[in-house]
Amino acid sequence: QKEVEQDPGPLSVPEGAIVSLNCTYSNSAFQYFMWYRQYSRKGPELLMYTYSSGNKEDGRFTAQVDKSSKYISLFIRDSQPSDSATYLCAMRMTGANSKLTFGKGITLSVRP
Amino acid sequence: DSGVTQTPKHLITATGQRVTLRCSPRSGDLSVYWYQQSLDQGLQFLIQYYNGEERAKGNILERFSAQQFPDLHSELNLSSLELGDSALYFCASSVGTGDGNTIYFGEGSWLTVV
């Protein structure tokens, strides 16, 4: 079993839809949870950063972490064609080892 | 633009050859990471350096090596290349190594082994 599992997709939604992206993980030591967005052939860019359980909102994006279920989600409201990209969840433990463990990513396409 | 600079952007080389990928971290960042991204494996952590010293090692093959220089730039050396080494190689950097550090990625070096 991989440490981080992410629905492989791809996912296609109409413009304006609410998108829900999810990851599950097996390592209970993970404390920091991130979502990165990656456009085709570009580097991943940090979208959301959450510590431990709870919700975090930034504009149209909401990140949720449920540590009891080892489950994280990213919600995108009022999705736009410019949101079309690959979304990767990532997580790491506390301490000096800042290694990120990534999900494989899901490709989202928002249709105009 | 993340501020992390990688060269070359694209590279085509033959099996058995050796290549060097170069990375300049963001100004002020002491920590450098290397990741490999392939279609089947996703983003895999290779190695991390902090202020010139190796800090963590991931799934890095023995044919691969890296170093971080006194000016904080880093190089990833890939030798005896195989077809399966074809991938996008990312460098990332952060200020430190501890909790709360945000890791920023470069645009990647696309390696094709033929």
* Separation between Cα atoms, residue A50 and residue A40, nearest integer Å: 25
CA B14 to chain CA centroid, Å, is 20
CB contact under 8 A, A103 and B58: no
For residue B41, the model assigns a pLDDT of 79
Q: Is B107 left (phi over 0), alpha (psi -120 to 50) or beta?
A: alpha
Strand-pair partners of A6:
A23
CA distance A38 to B114: 26
A98 touches chain B (CB under 8 A): yes
A residues 29-88 closer than 8 Å to B (CB): 31-32, 36, 41-46, 49, 51, 88
Mean pLDDT throughout A81-90? 96
pLDDT of residue B99: 67
Q: Which one-letter amino acid corresponds to residue A8?
A: P
Residues of A whose CB is below 8 A from B57: none
Model pLDDT for residues B49-108, shown as the tens digit of each residue:
999 999 989 989 999 999 999 999 999 999 999 999 999 999 999 987 776 678 899 999
Check: CB of residue B24 under 8 Å from CB of residue B37: no
Query: Once rounded to an integer, what is the mean pLDDT over residues A22-40?
Result: 93
pLDDT tens digits, one per residue of A53-77: 889 999 999 999 999 999 999 999 9
